[in-house]
Amino acid sequence: MVEMSAHSRQGFQTSGFQTSVDIARQQPYVVAPLAGQKRPPSRHIDNGPLHGSIKNPTFQIIDDDANPQRLDFIRPQVALPKSRLIASEIRSAAGSVSGQNDKQQRADPLLQDATQGPLPSLKHPKFGLPSSLVANFAAAGVSNIYPWQASCLLGEGLLEGKRHLIYTAPTGGGKSLVADVLMLKRIIENPSCKAILVLPYVALVQEKLKWLRRIVQDVGKCIDNDVDHDDGSGSNRWRRTQRSIRVSAFFGGSKTTASWADTDIAVCTIEKANSLINTAIEECTIGDLGAVVLDELHMLDDEHRGYLLELMVTKLLLLQHDIQIIGMSATISNTELLAEWTNARYFISTYRPVPVDEHLVFENAIYPAVTSRQLFQTISKLASTQGLSFSDAVPPQRTIQTSTFRELSNPMTNAMVALSIDTVTKGFGVLVFCGSRQACQIQASLISEAMPDLSTLDVDDMNKRLDILADLRSLPSGLDPALETTLIKGVGFHHAGMTTEEREAIAQAYDQGVLKVLVATCSLAAGVNLPARRVIINGARMGRELVGPAMLRQMCGRAGRKGKDEAGETYLICGRPDLQAVCDLLEADMPAIESCLAPEKRGLKRALLEAIATGLVSGQEAIKEYVKCTLLYRTVDKRLSYSIMNSALQELANEKLILKNDDESFAATQLGQAVVSSAFAPEDGLFVHEELKRALQAFVMDGDMHIFYMFTPLQVAATTQIDWPIFRDQLEELDESGLRALQFVGVQPGFVNTMVQSGGVMKENTPEQVTLARIYRRAYTAFQLRDLSNEVPLPVIASRYRIPRGGVQTLAQQCHGFAAGIVKFCQRMGWGMLAAVLDHMRDRLEAGARADLLEMAQVTYVKGWTARLLRDNGFRNLRALAEANPTDIVPVLMMVNPRKRNQLHPTEAERYAKKLLAKAEVIVSSANKIWGKHTLTPDHRMDLIFGFATYNRARYAARLGRVKLQS
């Protein structure tokens, strides 16, 4: 750490005024106890009345002459809240209370075979894996593999990378391991090869990145060096060992500085993977690619992103390079068709290591899911039968007592709470899926009210929960009040409206068993891997739509934790109006995957533009061969596919994205090249082009609003719901420059006032109306981007525009990728000056700060509002942060998320302060590293120059055959 200057140690002495840090030190803020000693009663501070029955909390910063940096803490006495609701009992059909003996232990023949005999080991020579990789798998808990995995891997040509593979297996059945082994073996045995692993969501990319880096740690890889030398063995090449396989993540908004050349395995979202492949084709480096893994292959059918997956596979098939394609999913039914399309081997497994019992819950009664059709038929008969009770006609497996609590009067809610508490009392974790973000919070609150009293909780478990609360409270966005009341009882919720940090903290706490119940929307089922002993699906509707068979399979697949549970259970709670639909759903087959390049989805148009712009095809026959490689060609009449192709080519030519040469070949125009390089869809690229052309004529440079509008992602704006009174208020607060910029792009204040007064909705029946609606949505969203870049705290923005905090954060993340695309578009069009202006604003968007804070915003945990507070309170620049004492930074971090003293839970105070102190230490350390790069001494510079010169001389000598370089 840089030694602290005398001025810095004096603690921000100013001339004639106090900074907010000075004022903070005079306040009883809660900070970490470093001394660990109680103060005499005379030093206590009266904090006034607090909520609950917590008495006399005394937390304070002690800043006296004897020990100016000592932080003190007095532990309060805490009365823990008691449960307000009592969950209903679950009884067997015979009337006794449900217990351990009620669990159905289904004997899976495959499981019995697997447990009775030895499982195949990854050490076996037939797999050919290096011992270091096998050891890493073993350290991660994977020493042996299931028989189906071994059979799949040993398929002809797979381990050698000579055949493609398409396979399906149930969720939790071990699909990922097969792909990991094939991909890593390919990378290790072919040192020049790279691999791309494609996942649909950022959370999955981040999770897989951590896993792969753990698995490849210290795994040796031989690299051929381009140096001619006869070492006596007859070979004129020598090999050195690279001690690690480089794994990098690529997704929108990521901060990685890695490039395609810097990585061996690229873990990507769908969009980034397609962009990487396009760049590799255009730059003629596609030969470096050795394997492409497509996880969640059923995303081929996704109406928004599926065509990108099909584009990737189509391009790889047309190239006919030595690139192994590996696709997997748990929810596809036409595996054989996909295998024919890719000329791959296919494998179907139904094995699941943990057996799962499925149930239907209807009107406080539990039935086996396999009898759902019989149940519906009986109910239909009862509707026309007099004098016959439902329970007599259809005896349930178990019953749930009716609750006397008003909050649990709804049978579905009563069943959800009863099943959740029943799971927790048996010592297992439960995952509850519900239909909306609001429902997540309501249902989590209800379950927490019925959880066992905290007085029965182990002290260590309580401390872990308090640590989670302290972690969340120390975030810039602060702690959600709804989470504050549920987490302490061991219940969390998870949905897209939360910030990334909140979702990660909650998911990790549940995975570690700190939280016993997690209530989530269905997006979690396709996101991070969080299995549970019991999965409860509270209603078959997610939003307004009935959940599909594939998503239901995904949610149910979370039941059963390999290595921790011996069984899994799923409970689908159903209301009477949806009973028939649910019965149909339980019996439905998985949908067949279809092509997304059909005319109504317009995917083939982008496919052809990308292929032509990257130089993959040009002539008519080559384009036909390209179309033959699509899934579309396999699923529709051949003449129809060529008709769609010709129509798409004509549209591209009419829009001046491609042009036809005299020899009947096609080439991309400059505009077409710009659209592809920026990763825009053709329609989006044309819209952006028109707006940028207008901007070139009269770009509003005396303010930022025009740039914020240009950087607003089209995808986000498409789903934005405009609150017209808020829109009007923001317009009225704009300065002359900002108003002029929005009027220039097409926003009329008079129209906004009309919408406020009428309460109407914008019409989108014609192309002109669609374009106008897009302009207004982008302008409204641009206000949020402006606030983010002007250091407005994220919770304030969420409150100002009445949107979830996670929505604001998602906007910021997606904006980074879109802004990069805009800059590339300008560069390809030859608009260098405009690209330079926009590129500068990209830095501000990433930092969430004005230009004067860009340097400081490079520091870990220092973004936006945090950077401004640090600057305003004495830490004027990067050097000041590097020289700071971490304890001086703690009061400033408290101001990032200010709370009144009587709102702070006393039992969390010590932990909260420790978290802030730990963050302050990271901030100082990060500032030191960055500052050190900027301030190399002359001696250091000479050492570096001398080192590079020595290396270059040695390399030159090696080329002449005089010496052999060492790695």
Residues 894 and 941 in one domain: no
Residues 655 and 379: their CA atoms lie apart, in Å, by: 59
Residue 1 lies in a domain: no
pLDDT at 421: 94
Residues 524 and 481 in one domain: yes
pLDDT at 580: 82
Residues 423 and 557 in one domain: yes
DSSP string, 102-121: GS-----HHHHHHHHSPPPB
Domain C-terminal end among 534, 555, 587: 587
pLDDT at 3: 43
| Structure tokens that stand for 79 in this block | 């009365």
Confidence (pTM): 0.77
Residues 892 and 264: their CA atoms lie apart, in Å, by: 41
CA 103, 108, 113, 115 dihedral sign is: negative
pLDDT at 728: 95
Residues 211 and 274 in one domain: yes
Helix (H) or strand (E) holding 593: none
Burial class (CB in 10 A: 0-12, 13-18, 19+), 91: middle
Residues in the chain: 967
Residues 620 and 731 in one domain: no
Domain C-terminal end among 537, 554, 587: 587
Residues 781 and 726: their CA atoms lie apart, in Å, by: 11
Residues 562 and 438: their CA atoms lie apart, in Å, by: 31
**Residue whose entry in the numeric block shows the structure tokens 């109910």:** 379
Please tell me the number of Cα atoms within 13 Å of 575 on its side-chain side.
11
Residues 924 and 943 in one domain: no
Contacts of 929 (CB under 8 A, 6+ apart): none
Residue 593 lies in a domain: no
Segments of the chain scoring below 70 in pLDDT: 1-83, 93-118, 222-243, 253-256, 379-394, 526-527, 563-564, 601-602, 898-908, 933-967
Residue 99 lies in a domain: no
Is there a contact between 573 and 538 (Cβ–Cβ < 8 Å)?
Answer: yes
Please tell me the number of Cα atoms within 13 Å of 545 on its side-chain side.
6
* CATH assignment at residue 763: 1.10.3380
Is there a contact between 532 and 429 (Cβ–Cβ < 8 Å)?
Answer: yes
Helix (H) or strand (E) holding 165: strand 164-168
DSSP state of 454: G
Residues 326 and 344: their CA atoms lie apart, in Å, by: 9
Residues 696 and 689: their CA atoms lie apart, in Å, by: 11
Residues 514 and 652 in one domain: no
Sheet strands (E) in 305-407: 324-329, 344-348, 356-362, 365-368, 398-400
Helix (H) or strand (E) holding 250: strand 247-250
Residues 557 and 574 in one domain: yes
Is there a contact between 959 and 228 (Cβ–Cβ < 8 Å)?
Answer: yes
Residues 929 and 782 in one domain: no
Residues 561 and 424 in one domain: yes
Nearest to 556 by CA among 414, 356, 373: 356
| Structure tokens that stand for 546 in this block | 């009935």
Residue 856 lies in a domain: no
pLDDT at 265: 95
Nearest to 738 by CA among 713, 706, 775: 706
Burial class (CB in 10 A: 0-12, 13-18, 19+), 138: middle
Nearest to 362 by CA among 519, 587, 539: 539
Domain C-terminal end among 823, 848, 873: 848
Amino acid found at 472: L
Residue 655 lies in a domain: yes
Please give the torsion angle defined by the CA atoms of residues 369, 372, 378 and 383, in that order, rounded to the nearest 10 degrees: 110
Is there a contact between 187 and 221 (Cβ–Cβ < 8 Å)?
Answer: yes
| Structure tokens that stand for 86 in this block | 């009592």
Nearest to 294 by CA among 245, 341, 259, 224: 341
Residue 706 lies in a domain: yes
pLDDT at 657: 96
CA 814, 820, 823, 828 dihedral sign is: negative
Residues 702 and 768 in one domain: yes
Residues 755 and 773: their CA atoms lie apart, in Å, by: 12
Domain count, the chain: 6
Give the 3-state secondary structure of residue 141. coil
Residues 85 and 789: their CA atoms lie apart, in Å, by: 45
Residue 97 lies in a domain: no
Is there a contact between 252 and 269 (Cβ–Cβ < 8 Å)?
Answer: yes
Domain of residue 396: give its range.
358-587
Q: How far is CA 111 from the centre of its chain?
A: 33
Beta strands 541-542 and 265-268: pairing type?
unpaired
Is there a contact between 272 and 252 (Cβ–Cβ < 8 Å)?
Answer: yes
Residues 916 and 29: their CA atoms lie apart, in Å, by: 12
* CATH assignment at residue 641: 1.10.10.10
pLDDT at 473: 84
* CATH assignment at residue 443: 3.40.50.300
| Structure tokens that stand for 480 in this block | 């959600």
Helical ranges in 87-201 per DSSP H: 109-116, 131-139, 147-153, 175-189
Residue 910 lies in a domain: yes
Measured CA distances, 274 to 49, 258, 315, 520 (Å)? 59, 17, 10, 30
Contacts of 135 (CB under 8 A, 6+ apart): none
Residues 10 and 13: their CA atoms lie apart, in Å, by: 7
Residues 239 and 369 in one domain: no
Beta strands 517-520 and 365-368: pairing type?
unpaired
| Structure tokens that stand for 719 in this block | 């789903």
Residues 290 and 321: their CA atoms lie apart, in Å, by: 9
